[in-house]
Amino acid sequence: MPAEAAGLQSCSQNDQELKQLAGEIFASHPVGKGGGVILPQYKLNEKPFNPGRQPYTPTPPLNGAQQQLLHILEGVMSPDFSLADRAQSDGLTFIHKRLDDVDIYFVCNLQPARIVTDVGFRVTGKVPQRWDAITGKVAPVAHFHADNNVTKLPLEFEPWESAFFVFAPGMPPLDNVRPAVALPEPMTIAGLWQMKLEGHGFDTFITNITTLVSWTAASRTRHFSGTGRYEAEFMMPAEQMIPGANLVLALGQVGNIAEVELNGQNVGVAWIAPHRLDITRAVRAGKNRLVIYVTNTLINYVTGLKVPPDVPLDLQPRLGKANPGVYEYSNLASREMSETDLPPSGLIGPVTIHWECP
């Protein structure tokens, strides 16, 4: 049974309140010895960080003790955030903050798979909005309903996508949903790409490709760190320039940051998954020219080194030409130079265009 509250401020008072609450919650559930509930001990397992690995592992099913704890807690209070039919989350997580009378939920999909589900927030009497921290767009949630003390709404997240859901007092929006418009299926930008790689310690490399793959897949480009330029052309049929619909360019997998130009216009930087940019204002009927600049990290270059590099020239008067003592002490250079699990680099795609209603 919990006996001490976190923190030092008013610790004695908080400890007493914690014991009282724990007694009220668990007293009617004498499962273990002494009337307590037997639960597994939780701990964090530290793993060496590697940029090539994603921070996601499948969530194991809840064991009996964990399910029992949830059952007890749900008898006292509804979950702060829940999935439809009380399904167990596999990567969909949240943080809840309250600012005066506004409830703010940050919801994040930490798995490499798309999520489509209904979710519930322990909020009532307030109107939800969806805030996009990448684009700055604030949009009302068109469909939601309150059930007891929970507000439920549909949620669609791409892999690694996140958003803020902000609940503020106010009247629900009027039902002014526009009539459904038949939108085209996503269009894949396929065909010929010209790829040009330029970076420190790397001879400029220009080639034409028809398949987008990671730079690490070929020995010629495996240790390239820098910026790659991809150029392609595609046709946009005039009948698919639908008035009122937005066109979104989805870059697929990117390692690591992409800057996009369409028909000579800069349409933005995609620095975080799902790497999507609005291209409505730049696309045109007929032929379009797309240029994508992708920059990766320095680890690829470092793993191609045989010996640690010299100290930069401007620092050599102070530090000397090389500083092997630092490398020997930290073993940093030998670890990074021997790394074989490199992160995906470049434009891996697939690159597609999607039509969306605003």
Contact 347, 254 (CB under 8 A): yes
Contact 10, 61 (CB under 8 A): no
Give the confidence band of 113 by pLDDT, cuts at 50, 70, 90.
confident
Report pTM.
0.75
Give the confidence band of 38 by pLDDT, cuts at 50, 70, 90.
low
Give residues with Cβ within 8 angstroms of 289, minimum separation 6. Answer: 231, 232, 233, 262, 263, 264
Q: How many CB atoms lie within 10 A of CB 316?
A: 13
Please give the DSSP secondary-structure letter assigned to residue 33.
Answer: G
The percentage of the chain sitting over the pLDDT mark of 90, rounded to a whole number, equals: 51
For residue range 63-84, list pLDDT tens digits in order: 887 888 888 888 888 899 999 9
Taking all residues of the chain, what is their mean pLDDT, rounded to a whole number? 85
For position 26, what pLDDT does the model report? 75
Report the chain's C-alpha Rg in angstroms.
26
For residue range 139-159, list pLDDT tens digits in order: 889 889 988 889 999 999 988
User: Does residue 42 surpass a pLDDT of 50?
Assistant: no
User: Does residue 243 surpass a pLDDT of 90?
Assistant: no
List, in sequence order, the alpha helices (H) in 133-272: none
Question: Which domains occur in the chain, in start order?
Answer: 57-173 (2.60.40.1180), 187-297+343-356 (2.60.120.260)
Between CA 262 and CA 269, with CA 265 as vertex, the angle to 5 degrees is 80
DSSP bridge pairs for 293: 229, 259
118: which 2 tokens? 């209904």
- Measured CA to CA, the distance from residue 273 to residue 163 in angstroms comes to 12
User: Does residue 176 surpass a pLDDT of 80?
Assistant: no
